[in-house]
Amino acid sequence: MKVFEQSQLLNTLPKQFFASLVGKVNAIVEQGHDVINLGQGNPDQPTPSHIVKAMQEAVEKPVNHKYSPFRGQAYLKEAIATFYKREYGVDLDPTKEVAILFGGKAGLVEVPQCILNPGEVVLVPDPGYPDYWSGVELARAKMEMMPLLSENEFLPDYKKIPQHILDQAKLMFLNYPNNPTGATANKDFFAETVSIAKENDICVVHDFAYGAIGYDGIKPLSFLQVEGAKDIGIELYTFSKTFNMAGWRIGFAVGNASVIEAINLLQDHLYVSVFSAIQEAAAHALLSEQTCVEQLNDMYESRRNVLIREFREIGWDVKAPAGSFFAWLPVPPGFTSEQFSDYLLDKAHVVVAPGIGFGQYGEGYVRVGLLTSEERLKEAARRIKDLSIF
């Protein structure tokens, strides 16, 4: 059989760092060991039953068996506008300021292709979600990294970005609550972001994937709640985390009408919108009472508290995340992040994600997910304690 070479484009895409971690984990599992996987980002709870029921009813409707409108169902866009007004006090025009996405990841990868030309500059958080890099490479654009450091509460320091880089930059990715650090942003930071973006003609893309997950009574802030944000940017939201709908592949982008139009235009050429039954269920999720979201947040907060308490008790000096379902924990002396991750897997059969997989400035940390039961989190702490590292 002839083997056809992959395109230059595919060969230049970033290597999937975590594919090797998955291979290592699978090898340990195949040996028969009980592995506690804290390295993944896949919600462990089912989709709420009322959303599943809405989907079941929608699937039976023959009208939903046809092609859906290219740019999504109007009722879902109207539900998104209602949701944003109710939750964040943000007014959206559902016809011009909302785009339906095939999951948040699709939008994040699409946006650079929508508004960048080859060689143009994107400001990217480091550490950050690796799929930002994929979208930039597909657009043949150039990344300039914004370090997220503990001394600045894992927010980029705009004063340290050289002016010639700001002059070249056309796009900026932000993500709060943050993956992987669990940090959150306040109104002053977002206001500064709007100012920087306006002064330098930069489009801001705020990845709000963890928008429903905030702790200590503080609700995460939407970027669009800040005055002027809609003028210079968009926000991406996913149903995956808020409603445990990760496998459903549904999300949306809201904000600046010109960027929304660009997303819709690209998707016109790629897709014929999301299955309408999923769109019906998504609209139901947004418009129904939100007790399930509150309960999910409470569960993650309780898990967070258990994880941080247990790890501190074994001598690991860790800080509690302010949002998201991740904790960002310092690696003990004598290890790189990958070495520490391998050591925990080999000796304790506990999986954590090495920080280097999220960028250069992720070195020195590991990411731990709150995506298993409190008992399993306690067991992970017991296993790590037995290694006498701390």
Here the CATH number for the domain that contains residue 368 is 3.90.1150.10
pLDDT at 330: 97
Same domain, 17 and 62: no
pLDDT at 43: 92
Task: Specify if 181 maps to a domain.
Answer: yes
Among candidate residues 228, 254, 287, the one where a domain is terminated: 287
Span 23-46, average pLDDT = 90
Q: What pLDDT band is residue 257 in, cutting at 50, 70 and 90?
A: very high
C-alpha to C-alpha distances, 163 to 115, 167, 169, 384, nearest whole angstrom: 21, 6, 10, 46
Distance of CA 5 to the CA centre of its chain: 32
Task: Specify if 1 maps to a domain.
Answer: no
Task: Specify if 2 maps to a domain.
Answer: no
Task: Specify if 225 maps to a domain.
Answer: yes
pLDDT tens per residue, range 157-170 = 999 999 999 999 99
pLDDT tens per residue, range 339-380 = 999 999 999 999 999 999 999 999 999 999 999 999 999 999
Same domain, 314 and 337: yes
CA 175 – CA 236 distance, rounded (Å): 9
Whether residue 21 has pLDDT greater than 90: no
pLDDT tens per residue, range 75-96 = 999 999 999 999 999 999 999 9
Among candidate residues 287, 310, 327, the one where a domain is terminated: 287
Same domain, 273 and 302: no
Whether residue 29 has pLDDT greater than 90: no
Domain count, the chain: 2
Task: Specify if 216 maps to a domain.
Answer: yes
Same domain, 111 and 235: yes
Task: Specify if 348 maps to a domain.
Answer: yes
Whether residue 285 has pLDDT greater than 80: yes
Whether residue 228 has pLDDT greater than 80: yes
pLDDT tens per residue, range 103-151 = 999 999 999 999 999 999 999 999 999 999 999 999 999 999 999 999 9
Same domain, 271 and 170: yes
Task: Specify if 17 maps to a domain.
Answer: yes
Q: Which domain holds residue 40?
A: 8-46+292-385
The domain that contains 138 carries what CATH number? 3.40.640.10
Same domain, 259 and 315: no
Task: Specify if 26 maps to a domain.
Answer: yes
Q: What pLDDT band is residue 20 in, cutting at 50, 70 and 90?
A: confident
Whether residue 65 has pLDDT greater than 90: yes
Among candidate residues 258, 287, 316, the one where a domain is terminated: 287
Same domain, 71 and 173: yes
Same domain, 298 and 265: no
Rounded to 10°, the helix 276-287/74-88 angle is 20
**Mean residue pLDDT across the chain:** 96
CA 2 – CA 30 distance, rounded (Å): 34
pLDDT at 25: 86
* Coil, helix or strand at residue 329: strand
Same domain, 40 and 173: no
Same domain, 259 and 324: no
pLDDT at 369: 96
CA 316 – CA 352 distance, rounded (Å): 15
Same domain, 182 and 134: yes
| Residue 294 or residue 27, greater confidence | 294
